[in-house]
């Protein structure tokens, strides 16, 4: 998904084989567009990374992750609770991700290291590398 200076591979995780509704997907796109528009970017820098839309039992989590300075992973996420109450709102800024997202984050770290932290970084290879769950 391209957003301004960002090129993000987008993953969708859903609990119990649910799927995202068109409304939920549109809402997630809106969150990505508005949140990433507020990030300071530098001309000529690649803002490659990945995005997660995670539909859990209690809400929708919209997370973006992007790489800067060759090896630093940045992140932003927003929780949209289904019932309007976020039980961990007081620590939300410190949350990295749900346990179900961590394998994907680890995969993306390895894909970045293998494609971009090389003598000849290859953004196309990074963007072509996609996580495949073990049970898929």
State pLDDT tens for residues 85-112: 877 777 777 788 889 899 999 999 999 9
Out of 30-39, 76-85, 86-95, 118-127, which region has the weakest mean confidence (pLDDT)?
A: 86-95
What pLDDT is recorded for position 1?
55
Q: Considering the entire predicted model, what is its pTM? A: 0.89
What is the band of 45 on the pLDDT scale with cuts at 50, 70, 90? confident
Q: Render 37-93 in DSSP notation, one character per residue.
A: HTS---TT--EEEEEEEEE-SSEEEEEEEEEETTTEEEEEEEEEETTS--TTGGGGG
Number of CB atoms found within 10 A of residue 92's CB: 13
């Amino acid at each position: 998904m391209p957003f301004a200076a960002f090129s993000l591979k987008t993953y969708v995780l859903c609990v119990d084989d649910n799927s995202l509704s068109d409304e939920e997907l549109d809402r997630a796109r809106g969150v990505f567009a508005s949140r990433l528009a507020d990030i300071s970017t530098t001309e000529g820098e690649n803002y490659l990374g990945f995005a997660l839309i995670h539909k859990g039992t209690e809400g929708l989590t919209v997370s973006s992750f992007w790489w800067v300075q060759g090896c630093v992973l940045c992140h932003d996420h927003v929780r949209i609770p289904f019932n309007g109450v976020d039980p961990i709102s007081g620590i939300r800024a410190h949350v990295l991700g749900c346990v179900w997202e961590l394998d994907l984050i680890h995969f993306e770290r390895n894909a970045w290291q293998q494609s971009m932290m090389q003598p000849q970084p290859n953004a196309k290879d990074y963007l072509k590398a996609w996580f495949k769950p073990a049970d898929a």
